[in-house]
A = this chain, B = another copy of it.
Amino acid sequence: MAHKFEQPQEHSPLPLFTASVSAMIQLERSNGVPLYRQIYERLRNAILGGELPEGTRLPTERALARELHVNRTTVMNAYNELASEGLIEGHVGRGTLVKRTYLARELDDEPFEQHMPSWLFSLSAEEELALGHDARLMSEITALGDQQEVISLAAATPAAGLLPAELLREIVQDDLLTARQSALGYCPVEGLQSLRRGIAERMRKHGVPVDFQHILVLSGSTQGIGLVGRFLLHPGDEVVVEVPTYLGAIQTFRALGARVIGVPIDNEGMRLDLLEAILARRSPRLIYTLPTFQNPTGVIMSPARRRRLLALARRYQVPILEDDPYGEIYFEGEAPQPLKALDTRGDVLYLSTYSKLLAPGLRVAWLAAPEPLIERLSLHKQIFDLNTTALGQWLVSEILQRQMLDPHLARVRQQYQRQRDVMFQAIQEYWPAGTRVTLPRGGFHLWCRLPGDMRARTLLREAAQEGVAFVLGEPFHIDGGGRQYIRLSYAVSDEVQIREGIRRIGLAMRRIQSRRSPRDEQEGLHIERMPMV
């Protein structure tokens, strides 16, 4: 765990007196809970509960150890745990400070707008918030800069032209009146029977032996992460994720009070040597992975790793949540099989969605899992949203039954591949040397490391002036890493916009470089199929 260093920021409140920190810790020396753990837990609660707000300076390890009459190592272990969860951070010249966290932001009494402009917050802190707030975001960016059109390379959403409006209109026209009860009434919490059957049939074609009773229809994948998390994790439980990973999953796990442990990813997927070390030492309750066209890196986990991951899950009896929104958006050869196709024992809970394949507005996703789990999760789902929209489910079910999905996907894959190529070529053409980018074989994203020591946040501000938006790399990390990374989506804009967007970002990059000292090195542009994190 390396502490990160950065300049003090204007918006931090005054540090509290550090003396108050030791006063809030009452150690129980005979209750069997290790002292470092007691310190960690007390501080963690104080941070999440707002008692220790953002910017509070913690005592040095030595000072706190003295005041609590414990070894310095004890405090160090507690601080390390807090830092690994992103709750505290070391700053040159300022000591160890409490970091602003997502959860703290919710609990805090001051609206975040007082700290930074909301559009910037939208861009940086939440990918999906950025998507959700697209309209507001766009208008604010536009108001900021010139009056030119704003181009989004941020949203992981299908291009408007690829939303299947024609197919849906045809289905409504033909059959809504006769299907009114199933399309417009309440439906079973597990989902429309016809849709569950259609999904199971399609999964069997991809090598996963499931039937309708293994399928729970969801109102989006995020709901699936929340349900599985709520069911398997208690506050304080550990969950393993890839670093970087889908930031919505990080947020959801943290909102549930779980401790998120990161395992770096390389060109073959999650680093299983590191995962095994964690499994051997700790007791995570869940492993969350995106094995196919990983978000944000685009990596596909290799077949050998997939088999070994399953073996590890079995040996240590930890379930795997496989999140697979992009598996059907592949650009070469055959459809990649889900990890779940190799799972003979029900260790893998498989999550996917029609948001990327058809339309996010339908709000239809699903979980495939052992039947008893589906039954339990249905009870949880019912409490929180009763059931997923029947209309969306009925429409997807009709698309499957009418064999409309495969022709649609053939068209979609072709167009995204073209857009990926246009983006990649534009980067080669317009961006300064020293940038490193991935060339993914599927999915929606390029993952880029900025040249030299350029910060993604600096570039985002500069690019906003040019009227172009993308997503910062940092929120995909759990440890404050990723500050030089950005994620670009080639899905949502057309080819002309993509070229223009990349050109504008290139302008912004050169403007930043021109303000820097000339000693900045100019490396060549690295092109990699896989990311380097």
Contact = CB atoms under 8 A, between A and B. Distances in A.
Interface stretch (A175-183, A418-426, A481-489): A175-183
B383 A385 contact: no
B184 A177 contact: no
A165 B184 contact: yes
27 contacts: A106-B376, A106-B380, A128-B186, A128-B386, A155-B186, A160-B180, A160-B181, A163-B180, A163-B184, A165-B180, A168-B176, A169-B176, A185-B359, A185-B361, A219-B363, A220-B386, A220-B387, A222-B384, A222-B386, A223-B384, A226-B383, A255-B383, A360-B390, A361-B390, A361-B391, A363-B389, A385-B385
B392 A193 contact: no
Given A129-B189, A223-B384, 20 more contacts: A132-B187, A163-B180, A164-B184, A166-B177, A172-B172, A172-B173, A183-B361, A185-B361, A186-B355, A187-B361, A219-B363, A222-B383, A223-B385, A226-B384, A248-B386, A252-B383, A363-B387, A363-B388, A363-B392, A392-B392
A128 B187 CA distance: 10
Contacts of A248: 383, 386
A189 B133 CA distance: 7
A382 interface: yes
A260 B104 CA distance: 27
A360 B431 CA distance: 51
Interface in A363-397: 363, 372, 375-376, 379-380, 382-392, 394-395
A186 B360 contact: yes
Contacts of A135: 188, 193
A111 interface: yes
Q: A-B pairs with the 4 shortest C-beta distances?
A: A361-B390, A363-B389, A184-B359, A184-B361
Nearest to A178: B165
Interface in A398-435: none
Interface in A138-196: 155, 157-158, 160, 163-166, 168-169, 172-173, 176-177, 180-181, 183-189, 193
B176 A165 contact: yes
Nearest to A163: B184
Most chain B CB within a 10 A radius of its CB, from A134, A157, A188:
A188
A372 B112 CA distance: 11
Nearest to A166: B177
Nearest to A190: B132
A28 to B, nearest CB: 11
A180 B157 CA distance: 13
A228 to B, nearest CB: 12
B362 A389 contact: yes
A131 interface: yes
A384 to B, nearest CB: 5
Nearest to A106: B379
B155 A219 contact: no
A126 interface: yes
A222 B133 CA distance: 24
A382 B132 contact: yes
A53 to B, nearest CB: 17
Interface in A27-62: none
Interface string A329-369: 00000000000000000000000000100011111000000
A126 to B, nearest CB: 7
Contacts of A111: 372, 375
Contacts of A382: 126, 128-129, 132, 222
B132 A188 contact: yes
A384 B224 CA distance: 9
A4 interface: no
Contacts of A177: 165-166, 169
Contacts of A355: 186
A184 B380 contact: no
A289 interface: no
Contacts of A80: none
A367 to B, nearest CB: 14
Contacts of A189: 129, 132-133
Contacts of A126: 382
Contact of A131 (B105, B160, B186, B362): B186
A304 B132 CA distance: 43
Contacts of A94: none
A136 interface: yes
Please indicate which of the listed interface residues A359, A372, A375 has the most CB atoms of chain B within 10 Å of its own CB: A359
B186 A132 contact: yes
